[in-house]
Amino acid sequence: MSGRGGAPPPPSDAQIRMQPRRGNNNTIHPVLGPTPPGGGAGSSASSSASNNPAALYSELVAKHYRKWFPWLIPVFVVINVAMFLITMYINDCTNNSVSCFAGFLGRFSFQPLKENPLLGPSSTTLEKMGALDANKVVHEHQGWRLVTCMWLHGGILHLLANMLSLVVIGIRLEQEFGFVRIGLLYVISGLGGSLLSALFLRSNISVGASGALFGLLGGMLSELITNWSIYANKVVSFITLVVIIAINLAMGLLPHVDNFAHIGGFLSGFFLGFVFLIRPQFGWVNQRYAGQGHSPSSPKPKFKTYQCVLWVISLIILIVGFTFALVMLFRGVNLNEHCSWCHYMSCVPTSKWSCNSQPASCVSDQAGNQFTLTCSNNGKQKTYTLQNPTSSQIEGLCTQLCR
């Protein structure tokens, strides 16, 4: 399992722990613009606010930029947790593996830590549940895996890290922009991450919500850019967010983490942010809520020119990019064959670790109850005494032997 916290089958690494929390000193707040003409708020303003131009202007802004009740992000969290529980139930380690971790959990016990240190199911179960497998997508026409994979997780550690990040990032965005735009941003970004992952990783499976989460981070960045004129602490907030994104992408250079899903999700979310998260400028808001007797000498347009330009360019890039990626994927294109250095974007080999992510493969010999497995990856060999082992048990032992 690779990407979004995955590794070659079976899952073997922890998900990137994103902490895109903006510091208290860098919190982005709208800038108070020029105050409206005296008393221009009409009957909608309270008497106390009408005596205070700054408070009156803030009231106008709050009226237009109303807060949404965040219910969709919690629903996403519930869906992800439910899918993990269903996956663990189907995995049924006690009946399908030779040994399990936390066996007291019965059917919900975890695969051996050597097989899956994330405390989760086997790769076989994840593939059965809809993990991203590029070969199945291309050759067996299972395109639905591009979407289902973002609702699965390699282990409880993987799940907790992603859900914490989703709550921290998603709740604030849904409060600001509503469930429709943030829901679309999440799902489309997740699809973008799956597409780029499938184009580069052809021999591994991939699960996780990281592509969608990086899409929310990308949307936060483009939202700051497109609404630049209405925010305070612009430069500090921009630098803080860029550093957070850079750190999380850098962590994707570690082995067994699919940084292609992160990059694809981030780029999708970045351009989607220019489309979905655009705000009217304050001058237009001020005019809209000014008193009926107030006639502005020069009416303000709803959006600034640069916002409209970014909206058009981003929409074109998204349509062309997704179309091109889908065509290449279903034609069986492997981008690694056209880019000899691109694999370094997902893993940089060092003296401390290797980027070899070949799936575990073993040759077995049986003599009575004696099973001898030889790992094709590293040549290790070991003999086991098993009574009528299942294919899942043999696969689990092979994975442990090859690690």
210 is catalytic: yes
CB-count burial class (<10 Å; 0-12, 13-18, 19+) for 126: buried
- Which of 12, 109, 194, 210 does the annotation list as catalytic? 210
CA distance 391 to 379: 21
CA distance 282 to 86: 48
376 is catalytic: no
CA distance 401 to 373: 8
- Which of 262, 314, 343, 357 does the annotation list as catalytic? 262
What separation in angstroms does the CA of 278 have from each of 19, 66, 309? 24, 15, 12
Number of residues assigned to the chain: 403
CA distance 41 to 288: 10
* Core vs surface per residue 321-340: b (16+ CB within 10 A) or e: beeebbebbeeeebbeeeee
Pick the closest to residue 186 from 105, 300, 265 (CA basis).
Answer: 265
Of the chain, the end-to-end C-alpha distance in Å amounts to 14
Quick check: helix, strand or coil at residue 309? helix
- The set of catalytic residues is 210, 262
